[in-house]
Amino acid sequence: MWTADCLEAGRRGYKTKMSDELKSQIKQAIVRSLKLPIDPQEIDSAAPLFGAGLGLDSIDALELVLELERSFGVVVGDEQTGGQVLRSVDAIAEFITAQRASAAS
């Protein structure tokens, strides 16, 4: 018999799977758009994309913003938002999820 706890656990598992799939798609988009010589799965979702992390620069940021718009239909409206969104794959995934949720409302 299904209980509320079972349903909630199922939702969490579904969200985690969706989140993992989204992060994988983001990593593939990063590697593809920036032509990085690495496997997308080598990118740590929590690691910084700039500086000591993946080592991206401001030119990469512009290219990545365009790729996010093309691939995921989200708009990074300004530099401040971009600074927050492009911190890591995790941050990008949260932004895309939030944008999709607000668009669905």
The candidate with the shortest Cα–Cα distance to 33, out of 54, 19, 12, is 54
What is the rounded CA–CA span in Å between residue 40 and residue 30? Answer: 8
Could you read off the pLDDT of 46-99 as tens digits, one per residue? 999 998 889 999 999 999 999 999 999 999 989 999 999 999 999 999 999 999
End-to-end CA distance of the chain: give it in Å, rounded.
32
Q: Which domains does the chain have, with CATH numbers?
A: 4-104 (1.10.1200.10)
pTM above 0.85, yes or no: no
Could you read off the pLDDT of 1-22 as tens digits, one per residue? 434 443 344 445 445 666 999 9
